[in-house]
Amino acid sequence: MEMTEAILLTIATAATPLLIAALGELIVERSGVLNLGVEGMMIMGAVTGFAAAQATGSPWIGLLAAIAAGGAFSLLFAFLTLTLATNQVATGLSLTILGLGLSGMIGESFVGLPGLKLQSLEIPVLSDIPLVGRLLFGQDPVFYISIALAAGTWWFIFRTRAGLTLRAVGDSHESAHALGIRVIRIRYLAVLFGGACAGLAGGHLSLVYTPQWVENMTAGRGWIALALVVFASWLPLRVVAGAYLFGAVTIAQFHAQAQGIGIPSQFLSALPYLATIIVLVLISTNRRMTMRNTPASLGKPFVPDR
């Protein structure tokens, strides 16, 4: 039972940054914007959060700094793609490369320093329940934020007028503009939200998952978050299931290595990304599933009539 509890805890921890980043990207894509810069925003959130925590001695301030860094990077992306109408794919890729390089430069002096870990919340009595106690009532605060974010995202998209407006902009920005909806403003807010989520996911990596700074510590999680949105058919609750599935695959490699299974470690390390490719291939073969909830204006630039 203790082994099972430990595995479930590590899966939840590994899934949390994927879930947060994917939910943010889901809102962005629902507005019709394709942001491939999630990886760059996550890594900037990770290094900024770690640096702020080191400077202030508070991991909470580090988390806020991580959110701010992700939001700032997303605003740069929004200015380039929404105001200047640059190509969204090329701009997102460029910002990812920029984020990886800039984070390496900023974090050079922090390599090897012990980090400040955000402490878990222990709820008396409830956290002592066998198997599920620590899983449900003894997690770090970001885990609970991710669950609340998933529920809030679902409610916002399908139960609010603002969510309906967001979906309308993503499905047909020309029609939304003709109805008087301010398309650019809505997309700016969506991109800002997505960047803040990516920054928070990065902060979780350097302040909770592995409380230290290591160059390129996101290790492709931003790309997995992007794949999760497609895997989930742009539905928030499916994003939750997908994040925990990929979190389980990520953790499986560590337990396989610990058990001494005779599989090359390089192959085990590649498992999460191999799973991502397999899932995308399977989804792409089902055109009906792919097109069911895909925003019709996804990736298309919009320049309002002057």
List, for residues 223-262, the tens digit of each pLDDT value. 999 989 988 889 999 999 989 988 888 787 776 666 666 6
Phi, psi of 172 (to 5 degrees): -160, 95
Q: Does residue 302 form part of some domain?
A: no
State the virtual CA torsion across 132, 136, 140, 141 in degrees, nearest 10: 180
Residues 41/200, Cβ–Cβ less than 8 Å: no
Q: Does residue 298 form part of some domain?
A: no
Q: Does residue 297 form part of some domain?
A: no
Percent of the chain with pLDDT over 90: 62
For residue 294, which amino acid is it? T
Structure tokens at 74: 């997303």
Q: Does residue 164 form part of some domain?
A: yes
- DSSP state at residue 272: H
Q: Does residue 187 form part of some domain?
A: yes
Supply the pTM of this predicted model: 0.92
Tens-digit pLDDT profile for residues 176-204: 999 999 999 999 999 999 999 999 999 99
Q: Does residue 304 form part of some domain?
A: no
Q: Does residue 301 form part of some domain?
A: no
- The residue range of the domain holding 273 is 2-118+127-292
Spatial distance between the Cα atoms of 77 and 36, rounded to a whole number of angstroms: 10
**HSE (CB half, 13 Å, CA atoms) of 139?**
24
**What total of structural domains would you count in the chain?**
1
Q: Does residue 240 form part of some domain?
A: yes
For residue 152, which amino acid is it? G
Structure tokens at 64: 């806020």
Helical residues (DSSP H) of 31-87, grouped into ranges:
38-56, 59-78
